[in-house]
Each structure stands twice: as structure tokens, then as C-alpha cells.
């Protein structure tokens, strides 16, 4: 038996002002998308904006449903929209932000496991890392240099 250590490395920015200008503007799109979320059940709004290599920005927000599991997270809403609209474009960067009506979200809020799996599909397909920046409603912003860094030991198609 041997132990295998798996670790993730994040870069953490103190606030929005510390971000490079292009990411600050991508995050501004995500904040705009977040405010358009349809989240009447959780009151937890999430926005996701994606920068593509054709310079387009595609955004999405979480969309909830009275039948709770039928809703969809912001990240998947955005990435499936990007895949549907620009199937040949590569995904360069993603900016994510979440806010809650019930509490202050002042720490970086990472994408859920299901969204990481969905994003991984595109990162593996394009053979190029996707940078992911994520935050709450305010405060620090975390950056992962790739999706695989956020979801090591991933389930992927080569095992099928």
C-alpha cells in the first residue's frame, strides 16, 4: 500500500481591484448575470461569465424550478450555452460570483462538483486549460489555473 497525495493550488486576490483589468471586466459581466438569476427557492444567486478565444463573452445564471432537481447551476447554464452557440471556440477564462439573501458571502465560493465535471469535459476536449476565477458577493477572489486543478483524479472518457 502507498498513499497518494492530491492537492490543488489557488491564487488569492484581496479584492476585485487587485484583478487584472480583463478579469475585472469578465467578473463585472458575471455580477450582472448573477443579478438576473432566477432563484426564488434558495435566494442564492450565481453568475458565470465565460471568455472565448473568439473574444465573445457568454454569461449564465442559475435557473431554479419548483421541481428542485430540474433547475440548473449558473456555470452549466453558461458553458452549455457557449458550447451550443460557439461549438468551435475554445474557453479561455471563467468568472463566477455568488450572493445570498440569507447571509453575507464574502469568501470565494467555488463551483459545485457537478459543474466541475461539466467544465472538465470542455477542458479535456479543447486540450487547453480553463482559468477559473471565483468569489462571493464581495471580498477575496480565488483563481485556479485550470479546471483539472479544481477536480483532480477526474472521471473522464478514456475509461469508457
Half-sphere exposure in the Cβ direction for 72 (13 Å, CA): 12
Contacts of 81 (CB under 8 A, 6+ apart): 58, 60
Say which of 35, 56, 75, 127 is annotated catalytic: 75
Spatial separation of the C-alpha atoms in residues 93 and 90, rounded to whole Å: 9
The minimum distance between CB 43 and ligand THU, in angstroms, equals 9
Q: How far is the CB of 82 from ligand THU (least distance, A)?
A: 15
Phi then psi for 67, rounded to 5 degrees?
-90, 90
79: number of Cβ within 10 Å? 24
Q: Is 39 in the site for ligand THU (CB under 6 A)?
A: yes
**75 is an active site residue:** yes
Q: Considering only residues 123-152, where is the footprint of ligand THU by CB under 6 A?
A: none
State the nearest-atom distance from the C-beta of 139 to ligand THU, in Å. Answer: 17
Q: Binding residues for ligand THU, per CB under 6 A? A: 39, 42, 44, 46, 62, 64, 71, 73-75, 111-112, 115
Amino acid at each position: 500500500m502507498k498513499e497518494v497525495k492530491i492537492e490543488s493550488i489557488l491564487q488569492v486576490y484581496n479584492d476585485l481591484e487587485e484583478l487584472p483589468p480583463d478579469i475585472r471586466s469578465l467578473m463585472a459581466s458575471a455580477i450582472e448575470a448573477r443579478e438576473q438569476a432566477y432563484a426564488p427557492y434558495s435566494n442564492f444567486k450565481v453568475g458565470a461569465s465565460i471568455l472565448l478565444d473568439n473574444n465573445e463573452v457568454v454569461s449564465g445564471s442559475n435557473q431554479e424550478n419548483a421541481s428542485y432537481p430540474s433547475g440548473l447551476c449558473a456555470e452549466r447554464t453558461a458553458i452549455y450555452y457557449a458550447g451550443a452557440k460557439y461549438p468551435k471556440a475554445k474557453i479561455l477564462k471563467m468568472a463566477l460570483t455568488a450572493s445570498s439573501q440569507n447571509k453575507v458571502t464574502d469568501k470565494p465560493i467555488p463551483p459545485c462538483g457537478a459543474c466541475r465535471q461539466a467544465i472538465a469535459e470542455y477542458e479535456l476536449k479543447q486540450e487547453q486549460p480553463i482559468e477559473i476565477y471565483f468569489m462571493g458577493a464581495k471580498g477575496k477572489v480565488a483563481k485556479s489555473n485550470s479546471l483539472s486543478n479544481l477536480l483532480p483524479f477526474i472521471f473522464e472518457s478514456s475509461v469508457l
